[in-house]
Chain A
Amino acid sequence: MGSWQGKSNLFKRTASVQIKDLTLRKYEGMQASARLDEMLRMLKEVFGDTDDIAIRQFRIFGSFNAAAVFLEPMVDQDRINRDILQPLMTALKDGQAEQLHASRIADYALHDCLHAADASAEISIVPMLLAVTSGETLICIDGSHKALIVNTRDIKKRAIEQPQTEQVIRGPREGFIESLDTNIALVRSRLSTTDLKVKMAPIGRRGNTNVAVCYLSSIADPAIVERVLGRLAKIDTDAILDAGYIEQFIEDQPFSPFPQIQNTERPDKTAAALLEGRIAILSNGSPFALIVPCFFSQFYQTLDDYTERFLIGSLIRIIRLVALVTSLIFPALYVSLISFNPELIPTDFAVAVAGGRAGVPFPTVIEVLMIEISMEILREATIRLPQVIGGALSIVGVLIIGQAAVSAGFSSPITVVIVAFTTIGSFATPAYNAAIALRMLRFPLIILAGSFGLFGVLIGLLFIANHLLAMESFGVPYMAPFVPGNWQGFKDLLLRGPIWWMRKRPSHLHTLDANRLPPDAADAPMRRTLQYAGEEDTRAHE
């Protein structure tokens, strides 16, 4: 497996000292002893206070003392019985045992006896200890410098289900789970190609969490791969409990409200990203894959856009864009219209709105802020509550509180409408993290609107837009393909072009193979369109 320092060419030449936890540091570089009792003493020293350790002593082939060491909760004991103990404890034919020298016994057992696919011989202490902690079985043999490591890990996995956060109408129903192996398998099963490279190494001093970087070597830009590996190598932390930890360690602009790394629970989305020339980072224990580099436009695109026909996909995408913009600026616009520029409201409606607001004791900006904040509280509460109550609460929140606020003269009915609309709009943004960023940015905008009206809103939007324009995700401009513009990218930006028309991969990813489709990919569909009920059809009828 190796380490991220090793994977990254950047670190090839620098002498890196990987810091382990205290025990591991103590045994750093030590070789295993050939004496079983010494090994057992050492193991008892390390795992002395651990009650779930099991040390099973036995005799290999009836003649060599050995011990199997494993952590009971993490292993499949049946497999240890069947695949390790049974073959090893079978006595050999007469004379064969005598021929075997104690030092070669490990190799013989590994090559001729053990029926386990994932098994290896090891001579250093540290990997042995790590193997035990990750649920593998260590077999120490008296008289042999080598110890055997057999993978007997058995950790309970969740079944593969439809991802909760990224549901689709049409498309695969599989989602990642917490097991890295399963997740890689899910991706691999979609891309059966030798180009799919998976680089794995553990991260974290104490967690030693396996992290995999996947990319297609014939497409992904080596420079970006190198950059990803380099940043991963620099992570030095206790453990990676979720892919989100990695995201925060490697993102370009930690202080930006906008996410610069996409996360997904969907293997199909991951595969699509790999095909575009992006890089996926998966980590053990997390059902989320991180996708880098990432454009802002990815946050309003969903898989549905692509699985459905392009006209429908485009329409839905436009609606989602409208919702996205709405969730950001709608309340701010409302505040500035009511408090600063009522001349933009039609006269009869303006008179009526003034009537609706007549009893409200607060300025619009305060009113909107209060309702917005209570809406955010409701949203947060609904996520935390058990689902059955949550549904009830949101209805209570929207209907009862809104109605009550209006009849209590606490807010005007239009404010409630506006805030409700905004909240719904923000739920239409598929990426939760991007939606939250916009929801939060709406508050400074409301304040600006409350102090400078439309002018304030515009200045706020300029700030946001300038910030977005300055951002980069792994060296790729964040606002691509809008700025810097790219014609091929425009086909998949606001609209979703026909699938046979989007011939190029995103150019800003600098893919090695820029073409997704052959140059004449659009010919056949276009010919069918133009000869609608024409030659092709008539011949078919004959």
Chain B
Amino acid sequence: MSDTLSISSIRMAALVTSANVGIGVLTLPRFAAVGAESGAPLLTAAGILCGTMSLLLLAYLCSRHPGENLIFFSEKLVGAPVARVMNGLLILYFLLVSGISLRQFGEVVVLVLLQKTPMQIVECMLLLVVALSARRDLIKFSFVHSFYLPFILLPGLFIVLIATRSIDPNNLLPLIGNHRGDWPNESVKIASLSQMSFVFCLLVPLMKFPKRAASSVAIGAAVGGSLYLLVVLTTVGMFGAEETKILTYPTLETARSASMGVGQRLDALFLIIWVISIYTTIYATYYFSVHASRDLFRLEDHRMLASFYMPAVYAVSMIPPNIHVLYSLWDLSGRYGFLLTAAYPLLLLVMSFIRSGRRRAHA
């Protein structure tokens, strides 16, 4: 029963891609344009590279400990108290991210699709789907991600293809932007987008070949990153940096301008498909919290937790009073979250090297 008990390298890559591509698709071009004007694509590339590196670090770390997942081996590496605090922080961080993502999703839907429907209802519906599907095991979790991947990538590519003919290369020059932006800071913000697939560290022990985790993650992150990059390229290329800066959801406007010759609006269709990518992303972050908590508290079953975290995520999503606070919170969580999700694995990796070095010295 190899396919129901283990995860192939390709499915792992698909999981990373589908988890990464999500909430950022709509707003990333704006962040990138604000950060670096016409240098937005380069900034995005830098940010994605940064994020991918940190994921690779984590993947390498996991493949060094193929028997257990992060929650367990971290306790062996840095000692149970420290590891538990850090793992707890990770769980809280991803709950927070789930909540903020959910709120962003709700804001878009209420602004564009369902103006009169209360946002709470919209959020609850998605949360319900997420929580119900979070009850299943890790293998089924990976199934979901690989199933939805085409529905995430193809519409994105489709919009990009349609929009390509309206790209003005002048909008993308000069490559580094006219003014000096705060590149390190901004790229960290973009890098935090790729941390959505952090959950893969729980799945590495289930892989057919855990040693290939790093290459899978590299492929997955590269595909997801390329989609982000393409989106930024077309959006900034189409509108120009100045216009991108003032659009709330620049990618949505790209979809909106991309008329299929008949002059009809495609944005609603695009948004609907975009819901799938939001779903997979929130599913990934929520699932991490649920599953990591199970391992942290040494529980038998995670299904209770899957329902138990629902109110928490919902509450987080209700915190920001308006869209401005929402995005500054998102900004903040991205920055400090990246610090957490990149530095902690680094620490563990160093410890892992030290331990194995000591073991070799003993032998």
Tell whether, in the assembled complex, residue B3 and residue A508 are in contact, meaning their CB atoms are under 8 Å apart. Answer: yes
Tell whether, in the assembled complex, residue A341 and residue B268 are in contact, meaning their CB atoms are under 8 Å apart. Answer: yes
A508's nearest neighbour on chain B, judged by CB, is: B3
A2-10, A73-81, A195-203, A343-351 - the one binding chain B: A343-351
Decide if A459 is an interface residue (CB 8 Å cutoff). yes
Enumerate chain A residues within 8 angstroms of B132, measured Cβ to Cβ.
463, 466
Q: How far is the CB of B65 from chain A (nearest CB, A)?
A: 25
Q: How distant is the Cα of A223 from the Cα of B2 in the complex, in angstroms?
A: 13
Q: How distant is the Cα of A344 from the Cα of B125 in the complex, in angstroms?
A: 24
Tell whether, in the assembled complex, residue A455 and residue B272 are in contact, meaning their CB atoms are under 8 Å apart. Answer: yes
Decide if A43 is an interface residue (CB 8 Å cutoff). no
Choose one: B125, B144, B269; the contact of A469 (CB below 8 Å): B144
Tell whether, in the assembled complex, residue B272 and residue A458 are in contact, meaning their CB atoms are under 8 Å apart. Answer: yes
B50-58, B69-77, B109-117 - the one binding chain A: B109-117
Choose one: B2, B140, B268; the contact of A344 (CB below 8 Å): B268
Tell whether, in the assembled complex, residue A459 and residue B125 are in contact, meaning their CB atoms are under 8 Å apart. Answer: yes
Enumerate chain B residues within 8 angstroms of A453, measured Cβ to Cβ.
113-114
Decide if B275 is an interface residue (CB 8 Å cutoff). yes
Looking at B1, B143, B272, B275, the one whose CB has the most chain A CB atoms below 10 A away is B143
Q: Is the interface of B mostly helix, strand, loop or mixed?
A: helix
Looking at A343, A344, A483, A507, the one whose CB has the most chain B CB atoms below 10 A away is A483
Tell whether, in the assembled complex, residue A455 and residue B122 are in contact, meaning their CB atoms are under 8 Å apart. Answer: yes
Interface positions of A from 306 to 346, Cβ below 8 Å from B: 340-341, 343-346
Q: How distant is the Cα of A452 from the Cα of B124 in the complex, in angstroms?
A: 13
Enumerate chain B residues within 8 angstroms of A223, measured Cβ to Cβ.
1
Tell whether, in the assembled complex, residue B117 and residue A485 are in contact, meaning their CB atoms are under 8 Å apart. Answer: no
Tell whether, in the assembled complex, residue B147 and residue A462 are in contact, meaning their CB atoms are under 8 Å apart. Answer: no
Tell whether, in the assembled complex, residue A482 and residue B147 are in contact, meaning their CB atoms are under 8 Å apart. Answer: yes
Q: How distant is the Cα of A280 from the Cα of B22 in the complex, in angstroms?
A: 44
Choose one: A455, A482, A484, A507; the contact of B113 (CB below 8 Å): A455
Decide if B321 is an interface residue (CB 8 Å cutoff). no
Enumerate chain A residues within 8 angstroms of B279, measured Cβ to Cβ.
462
A480's nearest neighbour on chain B, judged by CB, is: B3
Tell whether, in the assembled complex, residue A466 and residue B133 are in contact, meaning their CB atoms are under 8 Å apart. Answer: yes
Task: Given A455-B113, A469-B144, A485-B10, check contact A343 B264 (CB 8 Å).
Answer: yes
Q: How far is the CB of B4 from chain A (nearest CB, A)?
A: 6
Interface positions of B from 216 to 270, Cβ below 8 Å from A: 262-266, 268-269
Decide if A530 is an interface residue (CB 8 Å cutoff). no
Decide if A510 is an interface residue (CB 8 Å cutoff). yes
Assign chain B's interface to a size class: 35 or more
Decide if B136 is an interface residue (CB 8 Å cutoff). yes
Decide if B90 is an interface residue (CB 8 Å cutoff). no
Tell whether, in the assembled complex, residue B11 and residue A485 are in contact, meaning their CB atoms are under 8 Å apart. Answer: yes
Tell whether, in the assembled complex, residue B113 and residue A477 are in contact, meaning their CB atoms are under 8 Å apart. Answer: no
Decide if A479 is an interface residue (CB 8 Å cutoff). yes
Q: How distant is the Cα of A457 from the Cα of B262 in the complex, in angstroms?
A: 24
Q: How distant is the Cα of A108 from the Cα of B269 in the complex, in angstroms?
A: 83
Decide if B146 is an interface residue (CB 8 Å cutoff). yes
Tell whether, in the assembled complex, residue B147 and residue A344 are in contact, meaning their CB atoms are under 8 Å apart. Answer: no
Tell whether, in the assembled complex, residue B146 and residue A466 are in contact, meaning their CB atoms are under 8 Å apart. Answer: no
Enumerate chain A residues within 8 angstroms of B117, measured Cβ to Cβ.
452
Enumerate chain B residues within 8 angstroms of A472, measured Cβ to Cβ.
4
Decide if B166 is an interface residue (CB 8 Å cutoff). no
A462's nearest neighbour on chain B, judged by CB, is: B129
Task: Given A458-B276, A459-B125, A462-B276, check contact A469 B147 (CB 8 Å).
Answer: yes
Tell whether, in the assembled complex, residue B268 and residue A484 are in contact, meaning their CB atoms are under 8 Å apart. Answer: no
Decide if B307 is an interface residue (CB 8 Å cutoff). no
How many residues of chain A have a CB within 8 Å of chain B?
36
Tell whether, in the assembled complex, residue A484 and residue B8 are in contact, meaning their CB atoms are under 8 Å apart. Answer: yes
Q: How distant is the Cα of A486 from the Cα of B3 in the complex, in angstroms?
A: 10
Tell whether, in the assembled complex, residue B3 and residue A484 are in contact, meaning their CB atoms are under 8 Å apart. Answer: yes
Enumerate chain A residues within 8 angstroms of B272, measured Cβ to Cβ.
454-455, 457-458
B147's nearest neighbour on chain A, judged by CB, is: A483
Decide if B126 is an interface residue (CB 8 Å cutoff). yes
Task: Given A479-B147, A483-B143, check contact A470 B3 (CB 8 Å).
Answer: no
Tell whether, in the assembled complex, residue B147 and residue A455 are in contact, meaning their CB atoms are under 8 Å apart. Answer: no
Enumerate chain B residues within 8 angstroms of A455, measured Cβ to Cβ.
109, 113-114, 122, 125, 272, 275
Tell whether, in the assembled complex, residue A346 and residue B275 are in contact, meaning their CB atoms are under 8 Å apart. Answer: no
Decide if A475 is an interface residue (CB 8 Å cutoff). yes
B136's nearest neighbour on chain A, judged by CB, is: A470
Enumerate chain A residues within 8 angstroms of B3, measured Cβ to Cβ.
477, 480, 484, 486, 507-508
Interface positions of B from 99 to 144, Cβ below 8 Å from A: 109, 113-114, 117, 122, 125-126, 129, 132-133, 136, 140, 143-144
Enumerate chain B residues within 8 angstroms of A346, measured Cβ to Cβ.
262-264
Enumerate chain B residues within 8 angstroms of A480, measured Cβ to Cβ.
3
A466's nearest neighbour on chain B, judged by CB, is: B133
Tell whether, in the assembled complex, residue B268 and residue A485 are in contact, meaning their CB atoms are under 8 Å apart. Answer: no
Q: How distant is the Cα of A510 from the Cα of B2 in the complex, in angstroms?
A: 9
Tell whether, in the assembled complex, residue B140 and residue A469 are in contact, meaning their CB atoms are under 8 Å apart. Answer: yes
Tell whether, in the assembled complex, residue A452 and residue B140 are in contact, meaning their CB atoms are under 8 Å apart. Answer: no
Decide if A465 is an interface residue (CB 8 Å cutoff). yes
Tell whether, in the assembled complex, residue A458 and residue B275 are in contact, meaning their CB atoms are under 8 Å apart. Answer: yes
B148's nearest neighbour on chain A, judged by CB, is: A465
> Quick one: CB contact mask for A223-259 with B, threshold 8 Å, 1 for yes?
1000000000000000000000000000000000000
Enumerate chain B residues within 8 angstroms of A510, measured Cβ to Cβ.
1-2
Tell whether, in the assembled complex, residue A475 and residue B147 are in contact, meaning their CB atoms are under 8 Å apart. Answer: no
Q: How distant is the Cα of A508 from the Cα of B148 in the complex, in angstroms?
A: 20
Q: How far is the CB of A455 from chain B (nearest CB, A)?
A: 6
Q: How distant is the Cα of A510 from the Cα of B1 in the complex, in angstroms?
A: 7
Enumerate chain B residues within 8 angstroms of A466, measured Cβ to Cβ.
129, 132-133, 144
Choose one: B114, B126, B136, B146; the contact of A484 (CB below 8 Å): B146
Enumerate chain A residues within 8 angstroms of B114, measured Cβ to Cβ.
340, 452-453, 455
Task: Given A458-B275, A462-B279, check contact A484 B143 (CB 8 Å).
Answer: yes
Q: How distant is the Cα of A472 from the Cα of B136 in the complex, in angstroms?
A: 13
A465's nearest neighbour on chain B, judged by CB, is: B147
B264's nearest neighbour on chain A, judged by CB, is: A346
> Quick one: CB contact mask for B1-35 with A, threshold 8 Å, 1 for yes?
11110001011000000000000000000000000
Enumerate chain A residues within 8 angstroms of B276, measured Cβ to Cβ.
458, 462
Q: How far is the CB of B151 from chain A (nearest CB, A)?
A: 9
Interface positions of A from 149 to 187, Cβ below 8 Å from B: none
Q: How distant is the Cα of A346 from the Cα of B259 in the complex, in angstroms?
A: 11
Q: How far is the CB of B281 from chain A (nearest CB, A)?
A: 13
Q: How far is the CB of B222 from chain A (nearest CB, A)?
A: 19
A459's nearest neighbour on chain B, judged by CB, is: B125
Tell whether, in the assembled complex, residue A452 and residue B146 are in contact, meaning their CB atoms are under 8 Å apart. Answer: no
Q: How distant is the Cα of A454 from the Cα of B264 in the complex, in angstroms?
A: 16
Looking at B3, B4, B140, the one whose CB has the most chain A CB atoms below 10 A away is B3
Q: How distant is the Cα of A52 from the Cα of B317 in the complex, in angstroms?
A: 77
Q: How distant is the Cα of A455 from the Cα of B274 in the complex, in angstroms?
A: 11
Enumerate chain A residues within 8 angstroms of B148, measured Cβ to Cβ.
465
Q: How distant is the Cα of A346 from the Cα of B260 in the complex, in angstroms?
A: 11
Q: How distant is the Cα of A364 from the Cα of B190 in the complex, in angstroms?
A: 44
Enumerate chain B residues within 8 angstroms of A347, measured Cβ to Cβ.
263
A224's nearest neighbour on chain B, judged by CB, is: B1
A471's nearest neighbour on chain B, judged by CB, is: B140
Q: How distant is the Cα of A226 from the Cα of B275 in the complex, in angstroms?
A: 43
Q: How far is the CB of A514 from chain B (nearest CB, A)?
A: 12
Task: Given A463-B129, A479-B143, check contact A454 B4 (CB 8 Å).
Answer: no
Tell whether, in the assembled complex, residue B263 and residue A477 are in contact, meaning their CB atoms are under 8 Å apart. Answer: no
Enumerate chain A residues within 8 angstroms of B262, measured Cβ to Cβ.
346
Q: How distant is the Cα of A144 from the Cα of B10 in the complex, in angstroms?
A: 71
Task: Given A344-B265, A455-B109, A483-B146, check contact A475 B129 (CB 8 Å).
Answer: no
Enumerate chain A residues within 8 angstroms of B129, measured Cβ to Cβ.
459, 462-463, 466
Q: How distant is the Cα of A13 from the Cα of B312 in the complex, in angstroms?
A: 51
Enumerate chain A residues within 8 angstroms of B264, measured Cβ to Cβ.
343-346
Q: How distant is the Cα of A340 from the Cα of B144 in the complex, in angstroms?
A: 28
8 pairs of residues in contact across A and B, judged by CB atoms under 8 Å: A223-B1, A344-B269, A452-B114, A455-B114, A463-B129, A466-B144, A475-B1, A486-B3
Q: Which residues of A contact B (CB under 8 A)?
A: 223, 340-341, 343-347, 452-459, 462-463, 465-466, 469-470, 472, 475-477, 479-480, 482-486, 507-508, 510
